[in-house]
Amino acid sequence: METITLNNGVEMPLLGLGTFKTAGDECVNSVRTAIEAGYQMIDTAEGYKNEEQVGQGIAESGIDRKQLFIVTKVSFRSFENAREAVLSSLKKLRTDYLDLVLLHWPFGNYYAAWRELEKFYAEGIIRAIGVSNFEPDRLIDIVSFNKVVPAVNQIETHLFCQRQVERKWMEKYNVRPMAYAPLGQARRNEMFTLPEVTALAEKYSRTPAQILLHYLIQLGIVVIPKSVHEERIKENFNVFGFELTAAEMETLRALDTASPMVGTPAKPEKVEMFMPH
Ligand SMILES: NC(=O)c1ccc[n+]([C@@H]2O[C@H](COP(=O)([O-])OP(=O)(O)OC[C@H]3O[C@@H](n4cnc5c(N)ncnc54)[C@H](OP(=O)(O)O)[C@@H]3O)[C@@H](O)[C@H]2O)c1
């Protein structure tokens, strides 16, 4: 597994398994299957309500904990009680340390939550701390007025939303970009059928999904594609071992429309999801 080095020296895999909207046995099985296929990183969240199943999948795989990189997130609804939230995640995930913990959304008292994460980090219970869904204004804010600079910003990133401006800010502060929805949640099928993508798939004997993931990886962006199907879990893992040319990278870069689909509370249908009930 190729890795990157975070701003605190911790090595992080460039690829992991996403688990959003996976539950029950399907979640347990996808995690176990991924680890058996060679995945070393699993991404979950308090808000996904599946940390217990992720923990079970890890246990069933029998892998040595030290070989894994476990990522979870504190929900903004828990920011006033972040200590409790992290302790609960540790228990559900059946581990005594976490590799990376993120603030899920920059809402509410994220300063209180960040300072709690800073304490866990100082105690050695979390190896790296970071944020998620932080647009440049929030990122500048949290970097400027706290002790620890986030190691990672997990934010929606895919072919149609490449975060070129946002990534410049992350680079300035040495915050690593981590792409969620790297396949655009498979909601926009044209991503898989664009001639620019299928031509590369043919040239490199890969699938369109593999090209889409590899493109982000070649840019140094960590990816966490989600699948509950064994063949796709394996497909999404087989994205190393080839290099796109500079011209091919530029062709894909030009397909950016800079428009997020998921990470925008401004969309009316998202109102419920973001209410602090
Ligand atoms: N921080 C945040 O706010 C946030 C938000 C969203 C997501 N995330 C994280 O990022 C992870 C990935 O994002 P995501 O799950 O939203 O979207 P995604 O990984 O871009 O797409 C997942 C969808 O693509 C399908 N798929 C997977 N592999 C495929 C392939 N090779 N070919 C065709 N279709 C494929 C999956 O179906 P099947 O499962 O049926 O194969 C699923 O419907 C999440 O699971 C979660 O861990 C974080």
Predicted local confidence at residue 1, as pLDDT: 83
Distance 224 CA to ligand 1 centre (A): 8
Which protein residue's CA is at the shortest distance from atom 25 of ligand 1?
Answer: 186
| pTM for this model (two decimals) | 0.96
Predicted local confidence at residue 276, as pLDDT: 61
Distance 212 CA to ligand 1 centre (A): 13
Query: Is 15's C-beta closer than 6 angstroms to any atom of ligand 1?
Result: no
Per-residue pLDDT tens digits for 49-74: 999 999 999 999 999 999 999 999 99
Query: Is 209's C-beta closer than 6 angstroms to any atom of ligand 1?
Result: yes
In the chain, which stretches have pLDDT less than 70? 263-277
Catalytic site includes residue 180: no
Query: Is 179's C-beta closer than 6 angstroms to any atom of ligand 1?
Result: no
Predicted local confidence at residue 265, as pLDDT: 55
Which protein residue's CA is at the shortest distance from atom 34 of ligand 1?
Answer: 186
Q: Are strands 126-132 and 98-103 parallel, antiparallel or unpaired?
A: parallel
Distance between CA atoms of residues 236 and 228, nearest Å: 11
Structure tokens at 41: 């990183």
Ligand 1 atom nearest to CA at 102: 1
Structure tokens at 74: 């504190």
Predicted local confidence at residue 275, as pLDDT: 63
Q: Which domains does the chain have, with CATH numbers?
A: 3-270 (3.20.20.100)
Query: Is 227's C-beta closer than 6 angstroms to any atom of ligand 1?
Result: yes
Distance 86 CA to ligand 1 centre (A): 24
Query: Is 20's C-beta closer than 6 angstroms to any atom of ligand 1?
Result: yes
Pocket test for ligand 1, best of 227, 229, 234, 239 (most atoms within 8 A of CB): 227
Predicted local confidence at residue 219, as pLDDT: 98
Distance 17 CA to ligand 1 centre (A): 9
